[in-house]
Amino acid sequence: MKRLLLTLATLGTAFTLQAKITLPVLFSDNMVLQQQSDARFWGTASPGKKVTIRPSWSKHPVTTTADREGHWQTTVPTPEAGGPYTIELSDGEALKINNVLIGEVWFCSGQSNMEMPMGGFRNQPVEGATEVIVGAKASTPIRICTVQRATARTPQESCSARWLENTPDAVAASSATAYYFARYLEQRLDIPVGIIVTCWGGTPVEAWMDRPAMEAFPEFDLSFLDRNDKINHPSHQPTMLYNAMIAPLIPYTIKGFLWYQGEENRNRPAQYQRLMPAFVEMLRKNWGQGTLPFYYVQIAPYKYGVPDLVGGSALLREAQMRNLDEIPASGMVVTLDIGNKTCIHPARKAQVGQRLAWLALYNDYGIRGFEPNAPVYESMSVEGNRALLTFRTGKSSLAPLGDELAGFEVAGADRVFHPAKAWIDGRKDVLIVSSEEVPTPVAVRYAFRNYAEASLFNTSGIPASSFRTDDWELPVK
């Protein structure tokens, strides 16, 4: 009899739990919803149950009904930025979300340079982080949601994550790049900012792509996804991170994407150039919010074993630069001036976050008066022993005028490169490159090595990417 009663009690408890509304982890206390949007809400309830959502900023509740499997989805109109608010959901039993802000929500992903926390990695600090951490206040309207590492063969509906207020502990553990972006945006716009961070160090882009996207690349064997045997290095395998660390976040309403990745694909630059447009197209398609802005960071110079190797990781930087013309509504942060020869995780993350914020402020928030885009090499002509290079500079121009610029090389028809002098002709806004050893220039390269230092900028202080005018074959490692 006791066993029967216990069984009935257990069944009753299970039924009660089943009857309650359940929500994805992104819907919790301290969350940020995208302002002035039809913010998507979804979850589960008892099949056929009516679900009512009552946000405190509105007198008009939103209702929907769970389908036969208990799934429901709807949208809730959000006001201009503000808060904090509460949201009550009910299917007969109330569930309340507290301390909700309305503002700007950005999705941030990538590998270790996006993952690197404000508190730094072991023996690898983030410049200026201690002051930011100590000064963090919960009252500052920045909220952080970091997804915990996980892998899966198939797309998952849930993950481990939670929204945190802007406390010293939360800031110390957050992505430095993403946090500096959020902090800069919040200070300039004076509105709440939420960052959803999902990243894993040392991972390739294909791990962050879904199966339909990867099926367009037959060089990848996806048969392991249909088996149950052990997967070696699962975080490096196609789709495994998308399934566990991106799929559960879709279709949470966001403003745009930030991406800092590429080091793990550096020995496959041509393939990476093809993967990235497909990756961005997949994100936009799966989110279903149209052409959301996509801003990414070009990998920084680093020795990779041979700092002076010509080509090497510069070929990956070249692929990333070419992606600018292949990915609509995109922008790229160049980090040629803030790399570290001996550390793959540069400490100057504030500049990275700030430059990402500049792209967003210019393109998405209508702030003008500066040029957030790096100068991009456009064409070369030859006059005598001088190569004249033009650049796409937007509303800016090349800088610094009057200085002899380092890092340039020039070659003739023999394809032998020699160190060159380079300077800006301010009257024509062209770059002049010459070497006494090359009477007739055929090709010019700038900082086209594993490790190099920047000398060419625009007048807003944005460095030009490493580049070359030739397409001659070079070693990738």
Rg (CA), the chain: 25
Residue in 319, 279, 280, 282 with CA at minimum distance from that of residue 298:
319
- pLDDT reading at 143 higher than 90: yes
Q: What share of the chain in percent tops pLDDT 70?
A: 96
Q: Rounded to the nearest 5°, which phi and psi values hold at 375?
A: -60, 135
Residue 219: the pLDDT is 98
CB neighbourhood size of 375 (10 A): 27
Least confident of 14-28, 46-60, 110-124, 129-143: 14-28
Euclidean distance between CA atoms 176 and 114, whole angstroms: 7
CA distances from 389 to 66, 377, 443 (A): 62, 7, 11
pTM of this structure:
0.95
295 with 330: CB under 8 angstroms? yes
Helix (H) or strand (E) holding 377: strand 376-383
- pLDDT reading at 28 higher than 70: yes
Burial of 59: CB neighbours in 10 Å, binned 0-12, 13-18, 19+: exposed
CB neighbourhood size of 158 (10 A): 12
Q: Summarize pLDDT for 393-432 with one digit per residue, the tens.
A: 999 999 999 999 999 999 999 999 999 999 999 998 999 9
- pLDDT reading at 136 higher than 70: yes
Q: Summarize pLDDT for 226-247 with one digit per residue, the tens.
A: 999 999 999 999 999 999 999 9
When pLDDT is cut at 50, 70 and 90, the band that residue 97 belongs to is: very high
Euclidean distance between CA atoms 352 and 182, whole angstroms: 12
Residue in 242, 237, 240, 241 with CA at minimum distance from that of residue 220:
237
Q: What share of the chain in percent tops pLDDT 90?
A: 95
- pLDDT reading at 16 higher than 60: no
- pLDDT reading at 8 higher than 60: no
When pLDDT is cut at 50, 70 and 90, the band that residue 20 belongs to is: confident
Taken in order 185, 74, 109, 161, the sign of the CA dihedral is positive
Tokens at 41, concatenated: 């809400």
When pLDDT is cut at 50, 70 and 90, the band that residue 18 belongs to is: very low
- pLDDT reading at 13 higher than 60: no
- pLDDT reading at 6 higher than 90: no
What lies within 8 Å, CB to CB, of 4 at 6+ separation is: none
Tokens at 112, concatenated: 């270790």
- pLDDT reading at 465 higher than 70: yes
What lies within 8 Å, CB to CB, of 247 at 6+ separation is: 155, 156, 157, 210
- pLDDT reading at 10 higher than 50: no
Find where tokens 């005018």 sit: 469
Residue 477: the pLDDT is 79
Tokens at 399, concatenated: 């800088």
Least confident of 17-26, 89-98, 120-129: 17-26
Residue 190: the pLDDT is 98
- pLDDT reading at 3 higher than 60: no
Give the pLDDT mean for 117-134: 98
Find where tokens 């200070």 sit: 187
Residue 14: the pLDDT is 37
Look at residue 312 and give its three-state secondary structure.
Answer: coil
Would you mind telling me the total number of residues written for the chain in this entry?
477
When pLDDT is cut at 50, 70 and 90, the band that residue 2 belongs to is: very low
Q: Rounded to the nearest 5°, which phi and psi values hold at 379?
A: -155, 160
